[in-house]
Chain A
Amino acid sequence: MREQDREAYLEKYEQQKKKGYFLFLFQLLKYFPGDLEVVGVIVLPVMALTFLIFLPYLDKSPWRHWSARPVISTITIAMLAGATFLTAQSLLEEAPPGSVTEAGDRTAALYISNCAGCHGSKIDVRPDTDLFSVVSAGTHEGMPPWNADLSADEIDALIGFILAPRGSEVFAGSCSQCHAAEQLIEADAIELRNALETGSAYPPHVEFNLAEWSDTLTAAEQGQLLNFLTAPDGQRLWDQQCSSCHGRAVAFDGSASELRDVVVQGGGHLDMPAFGQTLSESDIQTLARYVLDPSAPGGDLFAQNCSACHASTIPTAASLPEAVDAIARGGAHENMPVWGDILTDEQIAALVAYVEQAAEGGDLASGGELFAQNCSSCHGDLGEGGVNPARAGDIIAPISTAEYLRTRDDRTLQAIISQGQPNFGMSPFADSFGGPLKDDQVNAIVAFMRAWEENPPVELPPDVPSSPQPTASGEEVYGELCSQCHGPNGEGGIGTSFADPQWQARNQDSAVFDAINLGHEATAMIAWGEILTLGQIDQIVTHIRTLDSSAPPPAPDATPTFEADVLPIFQASCTACHGTLGGWTGTSYTDALTSGANGPTIVPGSPDSSRLVQSLIGTHPTGMVMPPSGALSAADIQTIIDWVAGGAPEK
């Protein structure tokens, strides 16, 4: 542990100690779980208080020496001793095993600083609890979500610690002299088991003259140690141990016990017959060559003997002898490790539970369908992103890049889809948050997205505009860079319209300069100051000023119509809510003109008195500007105004 880490940890540990005089109360509560809580919270304290208040009348004898007042003295001493005992107990529990003395035990430090304050030294977890989501999302009563403060690895380490607090002690005693906890937590489970079983013969350990772990640690301690180092958290286990072969998308349609067998037996479950007994030597040779090179003859043999199990997928082998050997001997020739020998019972249970749960939503076909229905209008058919219809001037970044998917686990994706991202105009999709999808449908979408990770349809980063010549004038730079989003003549598009006189009037030169120089966070507008010189930016500002069209943008050739011009705007920005919510409905021409909570929202020919227009531009006295995620683009609003003014024609 580095020195400043240690200091920070000691500081947190110290903070943990404050308000020590309440400790005995919390400790007392632990003796009165559930319905008995009222005893610890109310009855005992009220009794103690009553005793204190009425003390002068409980003890009316004139004697003041303690020995002359045996009852009062006994009660007082008992209360003091009780409080002292509870405080001491709480303090002793407060320091988890091996944490304070062993500098290497960072997880215990994590536990102390994050959990011990409320939970004491250990937490009894019911079996089958999804501890990861409890910790990261804070679904436990009164507990905050920790995923903002802790990384997934840290939460993992914590879960290992909670489920196997002794494991931390074993670690501190046997490993921490040489290893930091996080270093081993990231290690491969197979290697960990290997090191544990081979003991001093384990190659990296040979020169250190270690004791045999099998002599110094009991089987239970070994299990605790492994649980501590690789937390029994199904999703993470899958990611670390399984996804390299099975991919990130989980699909399994068998029962839990079958699944368990597959995991425990690993390659052992693949009962391939030993073809050495049924096929001739030459046939085996032919098959082996075919396996190595599918263009070689042997397809017929393969179809007869192998395709029943292997279907059309031809297995691969590293060399001819290996292939021959595998075919001849059959049996557990696959590379899947026998996880029953590697993982602990808790880890296997967690893995099985996760695969079961994840596979429920693992129907990729339905996931793809749901994605197309619900997501592609904003995120594109392949998750490539595009213009954000909910927020003018905003670009939705691709969600199907390997980078994006690798940095977000399934739970994060689930949360984003379920709860939406109102800041970015994305509404919640899970029915528990008022959206249209059930939880397993959300899972299906997550699985569908996960399948992209192996073979992403979009790769980032897109071409960064080549750095323009420092000598280019502001006008040239504008034409080359700015016009892509703001239009060659400043008419706008993805970006703001510079032709808009209001915009021109609203923004001072220095504000425009700063916007170009520093960019806008969370939009495609980057900080150009890193690419352009200040002089160029200044010239761009000057150029932008020339784009002001003091006349309003040219009116469209003809009056917009509902079907061609208005409905797409409604569909993009309104009907997500105004289709199911009641009140005004914008899904069809009739509905748009006739529905409304207090009367029609559209008065053909009179935009000013149309509630719809008032809500869009914010002139309605009540209610907020629609859509709630931010006003429509000026062009869209103008289209709707023109449409209403032109009599709101359908076609």
Chain B
Amino acid sequence: MNDDADLPKADHADSSLTDPAAQGESVSRLDADTQPDEDPQLDAKGISRRQMLTRSVAVMGGAIAAGVGIPAIFYVAGPAAEDSGTAEWIRLGAASSVEPGTPTLMKANVERRSGYLTSTEELSVFVTTENGTSFEALSNVCSHLGCRVRWVDEQDGFFCPCHNAVFNADGTVASGPPPRPLDQFEVKVEESQIFIKGIA
């Protein structure tokens, strides 16, 4: 066969793209899904060779897609599950610097890890004590919209300047929009130094 002889075959394939009607008979004969009765190659179980192949291709494709797709989900979600470095005890300062009865603002630099990057950020915490031996640490971030609260002696409470919210000395909401008390940190005292651990 020479190239000219090869042409009609190409033309035939061509027609299948532009004019499916011309090939309708062969399509319907091949398309076992829609016209199973006409398929000449039914085996004992009623599954044609074409169906069998289509299904195995689908199964294999699904397996490959799952093999890549499921790890991909973990891969994308990965960093969310990572510990960003707040689970360690952070030293705030000397316990003696906290005045009994008045919340004292203490600051510490915290190293945060995000993926392969580390950054330091300043963490500000109000530390309160009644007797100088047991301590509580409250976040200075308002639980409403994240503004910074400050201690106002006259009101005997934490005041948030954004929406005039007031928290009591123990962090509970006294007035205003905040949905919950100020966040609390876990506190420990070692060698008369205050350490905190927790969220924020």
- Contact yes or no, B193 A510, CB < 8 A: no
The answer to whether B28 has its CB under 8 Å from any CB of chain A is: no
CA distance A508 to B3 in the complex (A): 87
The answer to whether A511 has its CB under 8 Å from any CB of chain B is: yes
With A508-B107, A511-B109 in contact, do A538 and B2 touch (Cβ < 8 Å)? Answer: no
Could you say which of A63, A511, A513, A535 contacts B191, with CB atoms under 8 Å apart?
A535
With A508-B107, A510-B108, A510-B109 in contact, do A538 and B193 touch (Cβ < 8 Å)? Answer: yes
Interface string of B1-32 (1 = CB under 8 A from A): 01110000000000000000000000000000
The answer to whether B60 has its CB under 8 Å from any CB of chain A is: no
CA distance A511 to B93 in the complex (A): 11
In the bound complex, residues from chain A placing their C-beta under 8 Å from that of B162 are none
- Contact yes or no, B109 A538, CB < 8 A: no
Report B99 CB to chain A, min CB distance, Å: 15
Could you say which of A63, A514, A535 contacts B2, with CB atoms under 8 Å apart?
A63
CA distance A508 to B93 in the complex (A): 11
In the bound complex, residues from chain B placing their C-beta under 8 Å from that of A510 are 91-93, 107-109
A-B pair number, CB within 8 angstroms: 31
In the bound complex, residues from chain A placing their C-beta under 8 Å from that of B192 are 534-535, 538
In the bound complex, residues from chain B placing their C-beta under 8 Å from that of A513 are 91, 93
The answer to whether B152 has its CB under 8 Å from any CB of chain A is: no
CA distance A469 to B91 in the complex (A): 24
Within 8 A of B (CB), among A499-514: 508-511, 513-514
Within 8 A of A (CB), among B155-200: 190-193
CA distance A538 to B98 in the complex (A): 14
Interface string of B99-114 (1 = CB under 8 A from A): 0000000011100000
- Contact yes or no, B193 A62, CB < 8 A: no
The answer to whether A533 has its CB under 8 Å from any CB of chain B is: yes
- Contact yes or no, B109 A62, CB < 8 A: no
In the bound complex, residues from chain A placing their C-beta under 8 Å from that of B64 are none
The answer to whether B53 has its CB under 8 Å from any CB of chain A is: no
- Contact yes or no, B107 A534, CB < 8 A: no
The answer to whether B94 has its CB under 8 Å from any CB of chain A is: yes
Within 8 A of A (CB), among B74-106: 91-94
- Contact yes or no, B4 A538, CB < 8 A: no
CA distance A510 to B90 in the complex (A): 11
Across the interface, name the chain A residue whose C-beta is closest to B3.
A62
Most A CB within 10 A of own CB, among B94, B107, B190: B94
Interface string of A49-76 (1 = CB under 8 A from B): 0000000000000111000000000000
Report A49 CB to chain B, min CB distance, Å: 25
Report A507 CB to chain B, min CB distance, Å: 12
CA distance A377 to B108 in the complex (A): 42
Report B185 CB to chain A, min CB distance, Å: 16
In the bound complex, residues from chain A placing their C-beta under 8 Å from that of B4 are 62
Across the interface, name the chain A residue whose C-beta is closest to B5.
A62
- Contact yes or no, A62 B94, CB < 8 A: no
- Contact yes or no, B94 A538, CB < 8 A: yes
CA distance A511 to B3 in the complex (A): 84
- Contact yes or no, A534 B93, CB < 8 A: no
Report B108 CB to chain A, min CB distance, Å: 6
- Contact yes or no, A534 B2, CB < 8 A: no
With A62-B2, A63-B2, A513-B93 in contact, do A534 and B191 touch (Cβ < 8 Å)? Answer: yes
In the bound complex, residues from chain A placing their C-beta under 8 Å from that of B91 are 510, 513, 534
- Contact yes or no, A514 B93, CB < 8 A: no
Report A185 CB to chain B, min CB distance, Å: 37
Report B125 CB to chain A, min CB distance, Å: 11
CA distance A62 to B3 in the complex (A): 5
- Contact yes or no, B93 A538, CB < 8 A: yes
Report B90 CB to chain A, min CB distance, Å: 10
CA distance A620 to B12 in the complex (A): 82
With A533-B191, A538-B93 in contact, do A514 and B109 touch (Cβ < 8 Å)? Answer: yes
In the bound complex, residues from chain A placing their C-beta under 8 Å from that of B3 are 62, 64
CA distance A62 to B91 in the complex (A): 85
CA distance A534 to B189 in the complex (A): 12
CA distance A510 to B194 in the complex (A): 12
CA distance A48 to B92 in the complex (A): 71
Report A88 CB to chain B, min CB distance, Å: 32
Report A80 CB to chain B, min CB distance, Å: 25
Could you say which of B108, B109, B193 contacts A534, with CB atoms under 8 Å apart?
B193
CA distance A557 to B191 in the complex (A): 46
CA distance A538 to B93 in the complex (A): 8
Report B146 CB to chain A, min CB distance, Å: 23
Most B CB within 10 A of own CB, among A63, A510, A533: A510
Across the interface, name the chain B residue whose C-beta is closest to A511.
B109
CA distance A535 to B192 in the complex (A): 7
Interface string of A490-531 (1 = CB under 8 A from B): 000000000000000000111101100000000000000000
Report B14 CB to chain A, min CB distance, Å: 19
In the bound complex, residues from chain B placing their C-beta under 8 Å from that of A62 are 2-4
Report B68 CB to chain A, min CB distance, Å: 21
In the bound complex, residues from chain B placing their C-beta under 8 Å from that of A533 are 191
In the bound complex, residues from chain B placing their C-beta under 8 Å from that of A509 are 93
CA distance A535 to B96 in the complex (A): 10
CA distance A110 to B2 in the complex (A): 59
CA distance A498 to B3 in the complex (A): 94
Report B120 CB to chain A, min CB distance, Å: 11
In the bound complex, residues from chain B placing their C-beta under 8 Å from that of A63 are 2
In the bound complex, residues from chain B placing their C-beta under 8 Å from that of A514 are 109
Report A545 CB to chain B, min CB distance, Å: 11
Across the interface, name the chain B residue whose C-beta is closest to A508.
B107
CA distance A511 to B122 in the complex (A): 11
Report A544 CB to chain B, min CB distance, Å: 14
Report B1 CB to chain A, min CB distance, Å: 9
CA distance A533 to B190 in the complex (A): 11
In the bound complex, residues from chain B placing their C-beta under 8 Å from that of A535 are 94, 191-193
CA distance A508 to B91 in the complex (A): 14
Report B101 CB to chain A, min CB distance, Å: 21
CA distance A491 to B4 in the complex (A): 101
In the bound complex, residues from chain B placing their C-beta under 8 Å from that of A534 are 91, 190-193
Across the interface, name the chain A residue whose C-beta is closest to B4.
A62
Report B121 CB to chain A, min CB distance, Å: 13
CA distance A534 to B190 in the complex (A): 9
Report B187 CB to chain A, min CB distance, Å: 16
Within 8 A of A (CB), among B133-156: none
Across the interface, name the chain B residue whose C-beta is closest to A533.
B191
Report B170 CB to chain A, min CB distance, Å: 25
Interface string of A532-567 (1 = CB under 8 A from B): 011100100000000000000000000000000000
CA distance A63 to B193 in the complex (A): 91
Beyond A510-B93, A534-B192: 13 further Cβ-contacts under 8 Å?
A62-B2, A63-B2, A64-B3, A510-B91, A510-B92, A510-B108, A510-B109, A513-B93, A533-B191, A534-B91, A534-B190, A534-B193, A535-B193
Q: Show 30 residue pairs from A and B whose CB-CB distance is below 8 angstroms, ordered by the A residue.
A: A62-B2, A62-B3, A63-B2, A64-B3, A508-B107, A509-B93, A510-B91, A510-B92, A510-B93, A510-B107, A510-B108, A510-B109, A511-B109, A513-B91, A513-B93, A514-B109, A533-B191, A534-B91, A534-B190, A534-B191, A534-B192, A534-B193, A535-B94, A535-B191, A535-B192, A535-B193, A538-B93, A538-B94, A538-B192, A538-B193
Interface residues, chain B, CB within 8 Å of chain A? Answer: 2-4, 91-94, 107-109, 190-193
Which 9 pairs between the two chains have the least Cβ-Cβ distance? A62-B3, A62-B2, A538-B94, A534-B191, A534-B193, A535-B191, A535-B192, A510-B108, A510-B107
